[in-house]
Amino acid sequence: MQVSAAGLRPMEMSFLGNTLDRQATRRGDPAYLAALLNKDGTEIVLSSDKTLVFRASDSLVASHSLEDALALGADQREMVFLGLRPGTGRAVFATTLPQDDETLEQRDDLRLVDLRTLAVQKLLPPQDLGALAQARALIHWHRTHGYCSRCGHKTDLAEAGYRRDCPSCGGQHFPRTDPCVIMLITHDDKALLGRPARLPEGMFTTLAGFMEPGETVEQAVRREVMEESGISVGRVSLLSNQPWPFPANLMIGCRGEATSFEIAIEDDELEACKWCDRAEVRQMAAGTHPEGHLIPPSISIAYDLISGWLEGRT
Ligand SMILES: [Zn+2]
């Protein structure tokens, strides 16, 4: 693996490489979509409630034929059109299977893999990981929006999977993307890193949180940092962004300058929070920290924000 002059792994943020041509203007054309779906070579990505469903014989191709998908219990009316592969023009659809993970795991011909593991293993090309992120986010939305939020009636897939319609009240429902701010906060030459309890032991990361309605990105950064660490933040800059399909987030990467230094953990988001100088963060990145503290893997925007600061890129 290549290592930069600062001893860091190369930038490898996952889920940025989706190259599918989404053909958004053709989503209302049922004849076109039906022809694509029934064409030889069309790929169907199958997903259960938590994982992607691969063929056991070929763990690097997350796709199945229409025939195989229907044989496994997929519903032809619930096919989401992801797009056309550039070059080949091959169509890629995604859908859910009705079985739960435990039932599917008992089959010898299938293998269940979660998308986070696939990203960390780096076995798939970036364009496939990006397309699978699109698939997972959409499938999660369809699985949780089978009923109308206005009247409770069952909804139908519409617009190739980018809308669900209610036949009872006429309500139209659209897939969600949930924006989150994720920010590296600095004070002089130190960075603020926190430890949510859900992370693997010893891992510290940048603070993050969901944006709230009616907020700017800058306001969300200042509010989240104050809530989680008691630190006040002045200037905020937007640096980068990343689709994060767990289940359907858009991570908005920021840098913020702290205007206070005393940490006060008042809510239960973090179990620890500390200011780290560059030497300590380098030890955390290299796996040589005396207390075993770590930073997140290079697939994440958190790693990109932290390594950018260490290398002086941002
Ligand atoms: Zn309704």
Q: What type of residue sits at position 295?
A: I
Do 182 and 303 lie in a common domain?
Answer: yes
Length of the chain: 314
Whether residue 4 is contained in a domain is answered as no
Do 197 and 287 lie in a common domain?
Answer: yes
Do 207 and 279 lie in a common domain?
Answer: yes
Question: 259 falls in which pLDDT band (50, 70, 90)?
Answer: very high
Phi and psi at residue 256, to the nearest 5°: -135, 145
Do 133 and 31 lie in a common domain?
Answer: yes
- pLDDT at site 9: 54
Ligand 1 mean position to 154 CA, how many Å? 8
Of 99, 119, 144, which marks where a domain is finished? 144
Question: In which element (H, E) is residue 183 found?
Answer: strand 178-187
User: What residues make up the domain containing 120?
Assistant: 24-144
Whether residue 124 is contained in a domain is answered as yes
Of 144, 170, 188, which marks where a domain is finished? 144
Q: How many domains does the chain have?
A: 2
Whether residue 152 is contained in a domain is answered as no
Mean pLDDT to the nearest integer, 192-218? 97
Do 138 and 190 lie in a common domain?
Answer: no
Ligand 1 mean position to 161 CA, how many Å? 17
Looking up residue 32, the CATH number of its domain turns out to be: 3.90.79
Do 268 and 200 lie in a common domain?
Answer: yes
Whether residue 166 is contained in a domain is answered as no
Ligand 1 mean position to 83 CA, how many Å? 28
Ligand 1 mean position to 79 CA, how many Å? 21
Ligand 1 mean position to 145 CA, how many Å? 11
Of 124, 144, 164, which marks where a domain is finished? 144
Ligand 1 mean position to 172 CA, how many Å? 8
Ligand 1 mean position to 206 CA, how many Å? 41
Q: For 97-118, how does the pLDDT look when each residue is reduced to its tens digit (9 = 90+)?
A: 999 889 999 999 898 989 999 8
- pLDDT at site 55: 85
Give the number of other Cβ atoms within 10 Å of residue 76's Cβ: 12
Ligand 1 mean position to 149 CA, how many Å? 7
The SS3 call for residue 9 is coil
Do 62 and 136 lie in a common domain?
Answer: yes
Looking up residue 197, the CATH number of its domain turns out to be: 3.90.79.10
Q: For 267-308, how does the pLDDT look when each residue is reduced to its tens digit (9 = 90+)?
A: 788 999 999 999 999 999 999 999 999 999 889 999 999 999
Do 60 and 113 lie in a common domain?
Answer: yes
Do 56 and 127 lie in a common domain?
Answer: yes
Question: 6 falls in which pLDDT band (50, 70, 90)?
Answer: very low
Whether residue 97 is contained in a domain is answered as yes
Ligand 1 mean position to 144 CA, how many Å? 15
The SS3 call for residue 260 is coil
Do 191 and 305 lie in a common domain?
Answer: yes
% of the chain surpassing 70 pLDDT: 95
Whether residue 101 is contained in a domain is answered as yes
DSSP string, 295-314: ---TTSHHHHHHHHHHHT--
Whether residue 149 is contained in a domain is answered as no
Contact status, residue 243 vs residue 232, Cβ threshold 8 Å: no
